[in-house]
Amino acid sequence: MDQEAQSSQSSEAAAKAVLLEECEEQFGLLQKLQNEIILTDTEANDDQSNEAVNRLIAVTSELEQWQEMEPKLLTTSPEVLLAVGKEELQRLNNQLKMVLSCSQAKLDAQKKILKREQTWQAEKKEALNAVCEKITRLQLENEKSEHSVLQDMKRKINNLKDYHSSLMEMLSDMLAEHFPLPDPQGNGTKKKRAAAYDAEMNLISLSEIIERLTNKTLETPHDPYVITDDTFWPPYTEMLLRNGIATRHPEDCNKIRLENFFGI
């Protein structure tokens, strides 16, 4: 094997040497032709135009001959051609290896970029799903909260209405019991005497007087006065005025209003 490798190397070296000799011969021939052309240019006569035309014709003819001529190899030696072809293939192989290495490096870089982008996309997708879940949960909680607040408000309003009704009933019972309407005959219970006197004189009870004053104050706060007609029993009207529950109109003594307890 070693002898074969040495013989192959020696044959390649010999082929290169032969090829270099032939190249030097051709280069010498080119130099000789170039010198002849330069010498011809220096010996040109005064009739330069005719000489230029003749030279153009000659160059054109030579060009046509070169175009029709098939190129010949500098040498036909199989060893020389093998060595030159082998060297050219090695050079091409090295260039292709460099191209492959660059392409592989670019491919690896693109793979890293793709992996990084996929990781970023997965993180963003996970964050988006978390945000969507939180929004959905908050919407459900908000709906439940609004519904519960509304129900709680309705329940409180109903309780307040019930409490108000019970207070009004208690107040009405208390006023009917302790502040009945007068009974001229003076017999029977207080409620019976008040009902009989109310039917004859058309008087209203103390509870109704207070209710009228309250409704008037709430409905028309700009004109809260109520006219004290014949249905108002004067002792009850005087009692409301003396105890600071009601006050008279400054210009009309027949009008009273509920005292301004809450700055209305």
Q: Which residues pair with residue 226 across a beta bridge? A: 256
Residue 185 pLDDT: 59
pLDDT (mean) for 183-209? 63
Which tokens in the block code for residue 109? Answer: 């870089």
Residue 196 pLDDT: 47
pLDDT (mean) for 118-137? 90
pLDDT exceeds 50 at position 198? no
112 or 180, greater pLDDT: 112
pLDDT (mean) for 184-194? 53
Q: What is the DSSP letter of 212?
A: H
161 or 25, greater pLDDT: 161
The identity of residue 143, as a single letter, is E
Helix (H, G, I), strand (E, B) or coil at 239: helix
Question: Residue for token digits 């390649």?
Answer: 12
Residue 27 pLDDT: 78
Residue 262 pLDDT: 58
49 or 147, greater pLDDT: 147
Q: What is the tens place of the pLDDT at every residue in 44-99? A: 554 566 677 777 888 788 777 777 766 665 666 777 778 778 888 998 999 999 99
Helix (H, G, I), strand (E, B) or coil at 169: helix
Residue 187 pLDDT: 53
Q: Which residues pair with residue 256 across a beta bridge? A: 226, 248
Q: How are strands ordered across the β-sheet holding 226-227?
A: 226-227, 255-258, 246-248
Up-side HSE of residue 37: CA atoms within 13 Å toward CB?
Answer: 9
The widest CA-to-CA distance across the chain, in whole angstroms, is 173
Query: Domain boundaries in the chain?
Result: 85-163, 201-258
| Tally of CB atoms within 10 A around 247 | 16
Cβ contacts of residue 207 below 8 Å, gap of 6+?
171, 172, 175, 176
Q: What is the tens place of the pLDDT at every residue in 220-255? A: 889 999 999 888 999 999 999 999 889 999 999 899
Cα–Cα distance measured from residue 249 to residue 40, given in angstroms and rounded to the nearest whole number = 143
Q: Which residues pair with residue 227 across a beta bridge? A: 255
Phi, psi of 255 (to 5 degrees): -120, 140
Residue 6 pLDDT: 62
Residue 103 pLDDT: 93
Residue 201 pLDDT: 61
Residue 112: pLDDT band (50, 70, 90) is very high
Cα–Cα distance measured from residue 257 to residue 245, given in angstroms and rounded to the nearest whole number = 9
The pTM assigned to this predicted structure is 0.38
